[in-house]
Chain A
């Protein structure tokens, strides 16, 4: 990759390559080029000469339409993207513009480009901001968001360049798979994926599959169980594990529940156990304003990695209803999983892909392993002069918060703007409260007011501003310094604790010091932070000094260790998600192939006519051919989707208990495959026989099939959930653990 900058410079400096002709002529030439390149569509990559020329034209177009003249390094970024790499460009280097030029480049080659970003806000902002540039280059552009209607989506996807968040595009893929008519489809064939914030999309989001759920039945409210659970006491009736991810009843708790429910053995009634467990989970593990907020009488989930409210996300398997019961809200509909897709499955649909981010090198290995993508490092335009102070480590949260507020007061006195990155919504509000107690005005940017994001960010660089933010301001948002701020030392970024990955820390730091601006950053970490208590619980930290600060080198090592453990654990989750879903993706591809034949062709009609010729002939008379074909299609599609949903449910159930196989010295993954394949083998036959059975009895008249009468009622919310693997370890680990436990006298 090192040669690209040189290559580029050579072309740019070549006499005549920078056309200074009037702008109209440049535009005309762009259109001319479009035709020429379209004619040459077979060429996979345009020759480098054309690329240099394209860069020159795009630079001119950007200058004239947006008033932004791309720096050389931005064009290098564009070239890296056009070559199918992940470009690492520091914050504030103008990734958006580089990406837009690359997207236009792909579009002019006749390909359809999806610019995939982390959230709807960025998708919309970038599409609208870059609109004039695309227009000047003769490329059409559109965007989709959470609230877009199917018509808006279809129109956006018809454009040459479409901006959208990874979850929106993923859900469109999932919804398309359930379309019952060819006209309902939204997405065109995938061509090129250009991924903004590539590490976030491809690595962080990839841990959890996107799950499309349908609302099937009205929710069963469980207020009685919620009330029962509320009377239980932590420690006596129930306990929470060290990681705070699971809760379970103690014997005393079981007794209490059994007495309250009439005295029968609770564990003879799995349904009741589920109900109690869910209520307990909602009561003990989910906290209002950290895990969810209540807005407009509804429970809304907060996405931790982005710090935003996820409108369409719900908890799985009745947990949503349990939380609603806890908050005494009316129960919403319960759902069932219709289908799921991993980010990996989504991205690998695209034959060509590239991406850009500020922190790619740290995940280079993963990008290669999971996506076959290479990282290209683009040098900054102006060297970064931000002063990164070393972490300050405190023994307790209280000491840390005190010092944090003192530091804010001290920096604020100089007039320097401050951005504080907190780890969750509750913490951001707590800090805001403390600051206002000290007569310091601050603006809070968190999941509760994401609508004001743009205006808050625009002011965050002004003299004397204090902005308290969650992770959401960490990405894709550009903080410009106000007048005279540069003289004061620029923006000062403080992190109230390290994130679960050093990349996220770097992203937060990157808010300051863009384009060679001055700036500073520091992290105020406490040994009681969740990162350390959860991922390095066994380490014995050194004692703090009198002022509560831990200056021993060992303290810093523990923080680094905890972060690496967290990163390792997350990588393992990613890899496991992928391992277990690869088979599912394969099975799905085959089912979809079949579904396409039904949806677009007469496969359903042929099959049913062959299976029941008399009934077919009889209905052909009474209903007519077109109606009958459509009815056959609906019947087969219904049973196909129904069977697939059941299959997916079976697999997720199988997945949950598969780690137990380790106890019989078996490989869980192999076992999973074995059972999944056996279940799949009977799937198609089952679909066929059920479809034939429905065909025999369904009321089909000249007006078509009465779907409800035939019992073919289709379900129509979205949620995500986490997965875990073998908690037992290998046989050796088990022996060693037991032996050490004995030696250390723990068990």
Chain B
């Protein structure tokens, strides 16, 4: 991986692409720490410290993860890329519902370009909504409930409108930066930006741990490195099912079977199950916040607040684990339809040697996939449990930086980007092999 990057830096146009990407990332980080006009940066910092110390830190955990800490800093890029991601998901759903959009999508490039344009408009709309809601929270002091300081310098309409406009414009700029990386840099722009935000919180948290306990720091580093290695290993593990295309008469040499195969990954589902499971587990926390004011909470609420609202109870851990296993199976069954794959292969004259196309092939695929998904689901569950278990064992109040989600995102995007760099390198560095 490192050799690939050093080699890439020796290839002029790839070097330019890498530097361009790094430049964009720097800009992106700058915007993430730059406070929006009207924010009392000093007070925000103090409130943040308080919030991190208290229990409330948990509620914003996920939001913070994706915004790299920008959200609660009320910075220019506070909203991060979430509005864009939400907008693209909404549009993809709308394509199914609205016939006009479906027609556009089928018309190829020109149609897709129009849908992308709609996605951008929707992103702006969503950012206006989100930034308004967010600024309103900040203005009434609800953003940091335990903190009594005023986070805004003053709360007249002009300041509020300025803040909304700034954050919305910030989102538009982020969108543009992401597209710039995709077009002229390396890797997928949006993934790279998420990646940046995920690792952006690392240094501060590590320093934090180091200050408190240098032994814990060493332990965290060892566990972290081990986990990254484990994730890299499993992410690349795959089962290859050979496929032959029998439309051509094979001449003197047989190629089939060596390079034509269906790669089934051990972790076929990727990171989605973890995100689904964590999102679902925010609901109990929400419930307890809603009923927090009640004098005499009923039994269910009480049970929830003791067992599911915090991550260090056995019930929470078991639920989290089971949810991840469930979502892994669910997601794999939805994205990989053995019947569809088998039909497609049949249509184009492909078959797995020894197995009839059509139903028998689908059954075989299903058999292999089910057996492969079991270790995949266990792996996802275990990786995601690590930070929670660490939290319970160490009893430490600070966040464990190598959370399952962060590591999966980090390794996933990292591997994809390095692969892309390598492929571009290979296309350029021929002369080296030849002469």
| A interface with B by C-beta (< 8 Å) | 216, 220, 241, 246, 248-251, 254, 265-268, 270-271, 273-275, 277-278, 281, 316-318, 334, 336, 539, 561, 564-565, 567-569, 571-572, 583, 586-587, 590, 594, 646, 649-650, 653-654, 656-658, 660-661, 663-667, 670, 673-675, 677, 680-681, 684, 724, 727-728, 731-732, 734-736, 738-740, 747
Contact = CB atoms under 8 A, between A and B. Distances in A.
Given A265-B354, A571-B108, A664 B264 contact: yes
Contacts, number: 180
A702 B335 CA distance: 68
Residue of A317, A684, A739 with most chain B CB atoms under a 10 A cut-off: A317
B263 A649 contact: no
B261 A728 contact: no
B334 A673 contact: no
A432 B157 CA distance: 78
Judged by DSSP, the binding face of B is mixed
B107 A568 contact: yes
A223 B148 CA distance: 90
Contacts of A727: 344, 348
B251 A267 contact: no
A456 B277 CA distance: 73
B259 interface: yes
Contacts of A569: 108
Residue of A660, A680, A732, A734 with most chain B CB atoms under a 10 A cut-off: A660
A657 B264 contact: no
B248 A317 contact: yes
Contact of A568 (B109, B355, B419): B109
Given A241-B347, A572-B108, 4 more contacts: A274-B246, A572-B109, A664-B264, A665-B265
A677 B427 CA distance: 8
B107 A317 contact: no
A251 B357 CA distance: 8
B353 interface: yes
A728 B347 CA distance: 13
Contacts of B255: 649-650, 653-654
Contact of A664 (B243, B253, B260, B263): B263
A677 B335 CA distance: 30
A669 to B, nearest CB: 8
A665 B266 CA distance: 12
B107 A590 contact: no
A571 B107 contact: no
B349 A267 contact: no
Nearest to B239: A664
A248 B111 contact: no
Contacts of A657: 243, 245, 259-261, 350
Contacts of B247: 274, 277-278, 281, 317, 656
Interface string B221-259: 000000000000000001000011111111101011001
B336 interface: yes
Given A571-B108, A653-B259, A738-B337, A268 B353 contact: yes
20 contacts: A246-B349, A268-B354, A270-B250, A274-B247, A281-B247, A317-B249, A561-B103, A561-B106, A653-B255, A654-B259, A654-B260, A657-B350, A660-B262, A665-B265, A665-B270, A667-B419, A670-B423, A735-B335, A736-B93, A738-B337
Contacts of B142: none
Interface in B33-53: none
Nearest to A735: B334
Given A674-B426, A681-B433, A216 B108 contact: no
B251 A216 contact: yes
B110 interface: yes
B112 to A, nearest CB: 9
A737 B423 CA distance: 31
A310 B19 CA distance: 51
A281 B102 CA distance: 32
Contact of A254 (B106, B259, B334, B356): B356
Given A274-B250, A654-B259, A736 B92 contact: yes
B87 to A, nearest CB: 14
B357 A568 contact: no
Contacts of B426: 673-674, 677
Contacts of A736: 92-93, 95-96
Interface string B363-375: 0000000000000
B402 interface: no
A745 to B, nearest CB: 14
B59 to A, nearest CB: 29
Contacts of B337: 734, 738
Contact of A571 (B109, B249, B339, B355): B109
A738 B96 CA distance: 11
A564 B109 CA distance: 10
Nearest to B257: A270
Contact of A590 (B243, B261, B423, B430): B430
A327 B354 CA distance: 32
A355 B95 CA distance: 39
Nearest to B251: A336
Contacts of B248: 274, 316-318, 653
B253 A649 contact: yes
B95 to A, nearest CB: 7
Given A317-B248, A561-B107, A684-B434, A661 B263 contact: yes
A663 B264 contact: yes
Given A273-B246, A670-B420, A653 B109 contact: no
Contact of B108 (A318, A567, A661): A567
Nearest to B428: A586
